[in-house]
Amino acid sequence: MQLQVPISGTLGLLVVAVDKGILTLDEGDRCLKQMIEAGYRTPLATLSSLLR
């Protein structure tokens, strides 16, 4: 959650996985990069800006 706004959707799931230690930040960023290469559209290049 950033600025008290709940995160949802695909990016939200990745952020929660990183936040809970299921994925490292590097693993989450690799997932995001693969999603972007497969056509996922987002203005973000990394998950860093969504993490607390």
Residues 2-52 have pLDDT tens digits of 556 676 789 999 999 999 999 999 999 999 999 999 999 999 999 998 886
Spatial neighbors of 24 by CB under 8 A, at least 6 apart, are: 18
- Is residue 2 domain-resident? no
- Is residue 4 domain-resident? no
pLDDT of residue 5: 61
Q: How many domains does the chain have?
A: 1
Specify the pTM. Answer: 0.80
- Is residue 34 domain-resident? yes
- Is residue 3 domain-resident? no
* Structural domain span for residue 28: 9-50
Largest CA distance in the chain: 31
Q: 3-class DSSP state for residue 2?
A: strand
Burial of 42 (0-12, 13-18, 19+ CB in 10 A): exposed
Backbone angles phi, psi at 11, to 5 degrees: -65, -40
- Is residue 36 domain-resident? yes
- Is residue 17 domain-resident? yes
Written as one letter, the residue type at 4 is Q
